[in-house]
Amino acid sequence: MNGLELLERYPLTAKVVREWFLERMIESLNDENVPDEFKDYMRQQGIENDKLSKMIDVNPRMLLDVFDENDLFIEIFMYPDVTFTCKIGNEATTNSWKTRKEAEMFAIEAAFEMLETKLTPPPPVEELEVIDEETVTSKEETDETDN
């Protein structure tokens, strides 16, 4: 999956990645000659997916810091047969790849999905109301019948 596909498929993760890259770009302009107004303007403009995806495609390893800051630590291991595998936090795979870059890309895609899951709010808990000893119903249903 390329950078644009990852950003479009995982919008919550894309937001975190976009904000991380934008802040690093602004930090790189930490110079007296760059006015704060320009930095604010950059924050307002943001980074579009097509531009961010090109940075991801050219150097996906830059994402390792983003995932580290979100407690998703990617580790790449080499097997004795000189193939590679990966581990993200406590999640490991039994897959192996011929190159480190292939293992990294798998790990980055998996980390996008894992961060999206982590950032997705849980569904609302349905409130239950006890009508009598034998009847339990959703509070929402009770409220609707009361009206």
Band of pLDDT at residue 145, cut at 50, 70 and 90: low
pLDDT at residue 41, as a whole number: 77
> Rounded to whole angstroms, how far apart are CA atoms 7 and 50?
9
Burial of 53 (0-12, 13-18, 19+ CB in 10 A): buried
pLDDT in tens, 49-101: 998 999 899 989 999 999 999 999 999 999 999 999 999 988 998 899 999 99
Residue 102 is assigned to a structural domain of this protein: yes
36 pLDDT higher than 90? no
Residue 37 is assigned to a structural domain of this protein: yes
**And the tokens for 98?**
């011929």
Domain count, the chain: 1
CATH number of the domain to which 101 belongs = 3.30.160
Does 24 or 86 have the greater pLDDT score?
86
pLDDT at residue 130, as a whole number: 67
Q: Which domain holds residue 26?
A: 3-119
Residue 57 is assigned to a structural domain of this protein: yes
137 pLDDT higher than 70? no
Residue 73 is assigned to a structural domain of this protein: yes
